[in-house]
């Protein structure tokens, strides 16, 4: 299964969202999604990792404790990371364009049903 869905407010059906990022020492990053129209709670996501539109900076932060003997190897890994993030973003956008009328909960349920 491979699907994607745009988030929609369950109260007003709005499509404009605000991601409120919550960072607390010792816990995963949490994203609280708020409807930009009616300011209702839409969803919460727990993140193991975070990548922004600056994937090089994010990866450098992750790798800052590692030492590379080769600058070329480090550059190749950074470029691969950037390609992976960009490619996956494009894939998700294409999946969203042909999205089915399902809730996020239904998509998650379908994913777990496939594992059984």
The model carries a pTM of: 0.59
Q: Cβ distance 33 to 18 under 8 Å?
A: yes
Reduce the DSSP state of residue 14 to 3 states and report it: coil
Mean pLDDT of 52-78: 63
Q: For 10-53, what is each residue's pLDDT tens digit?
A: 999 999 999 898 888 888 888 899 999 999 999 888 887 766 66
Residue 84: predicted pLDDT: 74
Whether residue 66 is predicted with pLDDT greater than 60 in this model: the reply is no
Neighbours of 36 (CB within 10 A): 13
Residue 90: predicted pLDDT: 77
């Amino acid at each position: 299964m491979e699907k994607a869905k745009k988030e929609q407010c369950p109260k007003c059906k709005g499509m404009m969202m605000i991601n409120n990022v919550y960072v607390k020492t010792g816990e995963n990053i949490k994203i609280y999604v708020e409807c930009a129209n009616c300011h209702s709670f839409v969803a919460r996501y727990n993140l193991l990792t975070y990548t922004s539109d600056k994937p090089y900076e994010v990866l450098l932060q992750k790798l800052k404790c590692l030492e590379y003997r080769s600058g070329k190897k480090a550059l190749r890994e950074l470029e691969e990371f950037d390609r992976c993030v960009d490619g996956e973003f494009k894939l998700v956008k294409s999946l969203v364009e042909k999205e089915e009328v399902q809730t996020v909960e239904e998509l998650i349920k379908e994913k777990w049903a496939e594992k059984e």
